[in-house]
Structure 1
Amino acid sequence: MWFLLQNVYGFTSILLYIIVTYLTVRERRHFSHSFVVLFVVFAVVNILSYIGLYLSLRLPIFTKRTSPIAALFENFPFPSLLRYIIFLCYYLPYCQNMTILLIIFNRFRAIAFPFSKEIPYEVLLSIIAILILPLPLCYDLLFTGAFFKYKESFQGHYLISETALCIYLFAWNSRQLFVAIFLLPVCNDLNSLTLPYYFILFNRRIKKCFLDLPLCRRVVNHRSSGEPPTKPTPL
């Protein structure tokens, strides 16, 4: 049940993230060019971060030996691909933090200096900072071997590697089980997939564009048509 709830929230949030990103690009004339680029980069990084942790931690842990996809983890067809998945699990959070920092500076400048112009090559330098600066911190993970192994105690697979993430997966006492199954996925979801909800809630323009989408208008019209007619106020 917990795994199902995580999937529903994750896939719904990814779809909402794509819609909000599309609306932001469509309404880009109301935002600065650098902010739109940072928002799109942040969306891509967040979605990839969710997918990376889903493939490396969430899905294997809830895959029992009797599952139809258990053979995928017991005999992974592309073993060299696992090191890239682990690399992304560490590399993308650094990219997230760097993007958040740049967005904060971007919004602060827009509020404190509303008439200032963007710095030349600002977008290019921002992308370089997001994608290049985290590499020295985790590039060695690209040369780390990894493979999936089945654990009878919790009836699921886990990824064995020389990374810090997999230290939690060897002993499996109650605290480590809580961290791996509950805390890490929930924190990743909150860090990666909550931005579209906040953006719709606090940005009136994006909220209006979202509510004007055909599906949203159909839902709103259906709810309004189902309401009982109001009685006239007696004189």
Structure 2
Amino acid sequence: MGIGVEVANPMAGLERSLSEFFIDADGAAVMHSSMPGRFIAAISSGGVPRYVLKVGRADDRPLRNEAKFLQAIPRTGFPLAVPKFLFAGLVGERYVVVTLAWPNSRPAGLLERKELLEITEVLGMTTVGCDPIVHGDFAPWNVLRTPAGIALVDWERARIADQPLRDLIHYVMQAGAHLRWLDVQTVVRELTHPQGMVAELAQRLNLPHTLVREALCEYFTLAPAARTPRRVSRFRERIAVAAGLPRPGERDTSPRP
């Protein structure tokens, strides 16, 4: 007698097409992603993770974007570790990206100020061709500690954009709003105070101090994702009020220096 509901194997149909990545496999762990129609599989060899597969729909644009950046980033001389790209393409009706796994990696937790500034300084200075790159979702859950050092994963939202402060602002906000590792007072201080991290990063990158306010207004006027939890939205609203920043859809009416 069976117990529970039978679930179709999400890997069905992929093994033969991706056989080169399964030759020495002795186990797999599969989980559904927060992205509809997507799942992630970790393939192990010798009892340790060997490959990571992201499998989405054929029209999965964020996944295609990640594949593009994972191939391009190593050519920039980027000094931080990123997943080693192995394969991307259609397998049947699914789009698949395969990277090497880090067998001895662990979540980085809340980065220290020194680490956070060093990483975001690198991100702010990185170029693909002549244009700066933005990770797009630089958050605690996308930072790992590996034998190769700090590694950044999940490049689905990466883009070419002249927004060198965006990743640091996003990290601080996500650490406070989603994970509650930082309180409102701390977030406001790091985002807006002259001795805060965003101001220090702007100084390191030789950016005019007026750009800090512009970057914050640009970030806060963006509408949050449709599935944003209410508690996260409330935290964001409290930051905006305390820092005198506009809300989504509002214009910044503060006096210009």
TM-score (norm 2): 0.21
Greater percentage in strand: 2
TM-score (norm 1): 0.23
Greater percentage in helix: 1
